[in-house]
Structure 1
């Protein structure tokens, strides 16, 4: 089982400086490597405090010089907001300076507030995403490529900054629909999925959708790696747990407001947190999520792994204004206790399955 940290780089209020948020995010990536995490993922958002990472590839390039083994990923590059031919060179640069450690996550985006400020129609985002991904795949695989599409017409073009990883870095798709799931299996890409703050039933539904997509493309479900983005926190201190839960709920409220095209801002930047009908109580969140004592987190994660069967768990480490020193200790705790325990248990489970007698 692989483990990753997902770093959103949110700014909950003006009591947090933007440079402090970014430096905290970078420090979390460095500590993640020291703790034994496989990957650090960086989000992309614009023009408000939901996330301060405008370019996840810039974060990858910077953190590449501060780390040596952890893989560094974009979760995700919002393709409709780019010129894909320029993005190809930036992907090549990031893979070169990271010595081939780039994980390339891409998605269509969903925040109208962002799209309007780039002059892009968010309602066309899925179609633009599909075409721009076509362009990226051509450019990554061909020394000279061209494209004649609805949104881009590119004459024969060569990209000078080519990736170290051949034929391409691993490509991950943020899969929120059946179409994106099927495309991932059809073309050999990996999957980002999330159940938000919901429990095992939602994970079971996710698994069913993944299996249907694989079957529709006549592929084995194991042909795509699956990364589950999850809020997880281990502690015996109620104050720590409640702070994490409160920041997780804050983050979800902002995401829902942006997704539902409700711009709640007095100054044009800092989004106002407001309760929603989708809010869960802290009790429900603790029941649904791997949150609580170390043993509770381990046991719950093992349940979730048995239901969804992911390849990777990406835990949300940077939420709102959660205390930085406490979060760094949390990352270390995962490296010391939780990751080894999960890997030991899953290894033993695989061993039992491999020696199970066949039916006759």
Structure 2
């Protein structure tokens, strides 16, 4: 069984008006540096616009900011919402970011999902997948050949030469956050990595998502047994019941925000989204049970079960949830690195800088934390 590499996902959200954007930025920088120390492979940065869901409208700026403060960890957007970008400008920015990172750039590509963003950019959401495919063509052409020429339904680029990178070599590794059939088939043809998350939902939801991707992967000519897969999970390591419940509440708020932001109408107070309970919202204990929250042994066994079931090539950990303080976030990541990772050594590749492994056999199902029994 292949070992999954590790990623750290940085949403960079604001909980409320008492949250300072500069504090979010500093916490993000510190967690990325600590993740590098623990052997994480990639640090990811979100792209969102116009709400407190994220203060990061340009993930490549975060990549550039961290490039000089890290040495080994790869850096990438998760994702570039391609329809919101001018493709000719974007291909230059990506090439420059790859230069700034000394080749450590990774690309996550997506189409966006929030109608409010499309409305403010003056775009029709119905065109998003077609736009994504065209911009992907332009990126691929420019990063591979150093030249762009394109005539499509949404974009036209006159013959243009680029100057930012050594051309004729492979472009950065690509991860794709979309289940649109043609985009997944294209990922299969190029050997790119599909990216899924199952947030507050259980393992069976993720199994179904993987099965759907595998079917499209085969249609694209790929071998399902060799399909790479990136899986994103909420992870918060704590022995404290109150902290665990706070983390579960933050996961619940993320779920509420995801549904609210994906809807046609958006109720806001300034930049802050007014969150409403989900339809048929489960109790808080359900979020606590299905996210990876609790003591180190519990988190390790839960992740071991999921890794064995889903066989991902990349495990992306979302650890800096809005609403959890800076010290608590860093303490959780430190516990993950020192207490959880050694137990996952047979399943996770944490690089040479990870703590010395202490192999532990994972049981068939996660053990309950003391305060869960």
Assess same fold via TM > 0.5: yes
Secondary structure in 2 matching 1:44: coil
Q: Give 1:302's aligned residue.
A: 304
The answer to whether 1:190 aligns with 2:193 is yes
Q: Which is richer in helix?
A: 1
* Aligned twin of 1:100: 103
SS in structure 1 at match of 2:72:
coil
Aligned position for 1:281: 283
Change (3 A) 1:18 1:81: same
- Measured in 1, the distance between the counterparts of 2:63 and 2:33 equals 11
1:145 shift after superposition: 2.7
TM superposition shift of 1:163: 6.0
Q: Alignment partner of 2:272: what SS?
A: coil
The alpha carbon displacement at 1:187 in A equals 2.1
Q: Distance in 2 between matches of 1:98 and 1:339?
A: 26
Shift of 1:207: 2.1
Q: Which residue of 2 is the match for residue 330 of structure 1?
A: 332
Instruction: After TM superposition, give the deviation of residue 222 of structure 1 in Å.
Output: 5.1
Match of 1:248 among 239, 243, 251: 251
Alignment counterpart, residue 62 of structure 1, candidates 43, 61, 65:
65
Say yes or no: does 1:133 pair with 2:136: yes
Per-residue CA deviation, residues 16-53 of structure 1 (Å, 9 max, x unaligned), is 12222222222221121122211110000011101010
Partner of 2:29: 26
Q: Deviations over 1:281-313 (max 9, x none)?
A: 222123323222211111111111122111111
Contact 1:241 1:292 in 2 (8 A): yes
CA distance in structure 1 between the partners assigned to 2:116 and 2:152 by the alignment: 26
Q: What residue in structure 1 maps to residue 365 of structure 2? A: none
Counterpart of 1:357 in structure 2 is none
Which segments of 5 or more consecutive residues in structure 1 lack a partner in the other structure?
350-360
Give the distance between the partners of 2:345 and 2:197, measured in 1 at CA: 21
1:211-250 to structure 2, matched below 5 A, reads 211-221=214-224, 223-250=226-253
Distance 2:190 2:324 in 1: 39
- 1:232-290 CA-to-partner distances (Å, cap 9, x unmatched) read 222221011111111111122111111012311133x1111221215332221233232
Give the secondary-structure state (helix, strand or coil) at the position aligned to 1:48: coil
SS in 2 for 1:339: helix
Question: Which of 83, 87, 90 is residue 84 of structure 1 equivalent to?
Answer: 87
Q: Which shows bigger deviation, 155-164 or 77-86?
A: 155-164
Query: Which residue of structure 1 aligns with residue 295 of structure 2?
Result: 293
**Do 1:178 and 1:209's aligned partners in 2 also have CA atoms closer than 8 Å?**
no
Does 2:40 align with 1:37? yes
Answer yes or no: is the 8 Å Cα contact 1:139–1:159 preserved in 2: yes
Secondary structure of 2:150 counterpart: strand
The residue number in structure 2 matching 1:316 is 318
SS at match of 1:295: helix
CA deviations 1:64-111 (Å, max 9, x no partner) are: 110001111100011000011111111111111111111111100011
The one of 196, 202, 210 aligned to 1:207: 210
Partner of 1:232, secondary structure, is strand
Give the distance between the partners of 1:160 and 1:203, measured in 2 at CA: 42
In structure 2, list runs of 5 or more residues that go unmatched.
350-360, 363-373
Return 37-46 or 180-189, whichever deviates more.
180-189
The answer to whether the 8 Å contact 1:203/1:304 transfers is no
